[in-house]
Amino acid sequence: HKSVLLITGASSGIGAATARAAAREGYKLVLAARSTDKLTALAQELGPENVLVCALDVTQMDDQRAMVNEALETFGQIDAVFANAGCGGTPGGFSEADHERWKDMILTNVYGVGLTLQACLPALKRSKGHVLLTGSAAGRATIPGSMYSASKWAVTGIGYNLREELRGTGMRVTLIEPGMVDTPFFDEPPEHALADRDIANAVIYALSQPAHVDVNEMLIRPTPPLA
């Protein structure tokens, strides 16, 4: 089909896996992140004629607006946006973590998602589009002292509040809430983790439902290991 899917944080992990899965489904893709070298390599792999690469720092509104303008110039419409860019936590709890490192995380995980929405919503309203957000299992659970978890609770809140804002427009909002996934998010490969393609499959499921089906939330966690 001819739908256009925009993915932030498409240069690695869950975003890149989702780009691969969506390309197989026939989507046209807008791939955005800071690492344009990685995005260009991915576009080559997927067939560059159906892929637009955008340099994007999600914390910069100018980048977000340029991305949307380029996407509309290239493909004429945006049908779905996967606001997936995010970064991980800092060692230590609220008592001892390096508070300077909280700033980038909150700017990326919370403010950056808000900017992506603000930049994309006018185009999405025209297409009665679909918004997907990468929250986290950590955005529903209590993790002692974790500012990362708190940032993902904020993403959960964005998803819920956005759905209310968009009520009556025919638009849909899906929160994708992964547990542990083996991606470059971690310095060391985690044990008992999901693969990035497991989350991509969930995104494709939500995207491929008929218009009257709004998959609100998908919590996807690895099967617990045997005791």
Q: Rule CB under 6 A: is residue 174 a binding residue for ligand NJP?
A: no
Q: How far is the CB of 168 from ligand NJP (least distance, A)?
A: 29
How far is 11 from 32, CA to CA, in rounded Å? 7
Residue 82: DSSP 8-state = E
The pair of structure tokens assigned to 176 is 């994708």
Do residues 172 and 151 touch, judged by C-beta distance below 8 A?
A: no
Q: Interface residues for ligand NJP in 177-196 (CB under 6 A)?
A: 178, 180-181, 183-185
Q: Interface residues for ligand NJP in 79-98 (CB under 6 A)?
A: 84-87
Do residues 77 and 28 touch, judged by C-beta distance below 8 A?
A: no
Q: What is the size of the binding site for ligand NJP (CB under 6 A)?
A: 31
Cβ neighbours of 142 (radius 10 Å) = 8
Q: Which is nearer to ligand NJP, 84 or 174 (CB)?
A: 84
Q: Rule CB under 6 A: is residue 202 a binding residue for ligand NJP?
A: no
Do residues 65 and 119 touch, judged by C-beta distance below 8 A?
A: yes
How far is 72 from 26, CA to CA, in rounded Å? 18
Q: Among this protein's residues, is 205 annotated catalytic?
A: no
Judged by CB under 6 A, the residue of 4, 14, 46, 131 near ligand NJP is 14
Q: Rule CB under 6 A: is residue 203 a binding residue for ligand NJP?
A: no
Do residues 94 and 145 touch, judged by C-beta distance below 8 A?
A: yes
Q: Rule CB under 6 A: is residue 15 a binding residue for ligand NJP?
A: yes
Do residues 180 and 190 touch, judged by C-beta distance below 8 A?
A: yes
Judged by CB under 6 A, the residue of 6, 19, 30, 33 near ligand NJP is 33
- 111, 148, 160, 205: which one is catalytic? 148
The catalytic site residues sit at 148
Residues that bind ligand NJP (CB under 6 A): 8-15, 33-35, 56-59, 84-87, 108, 112, 134, 136-138, 178, 180-181, 183-185
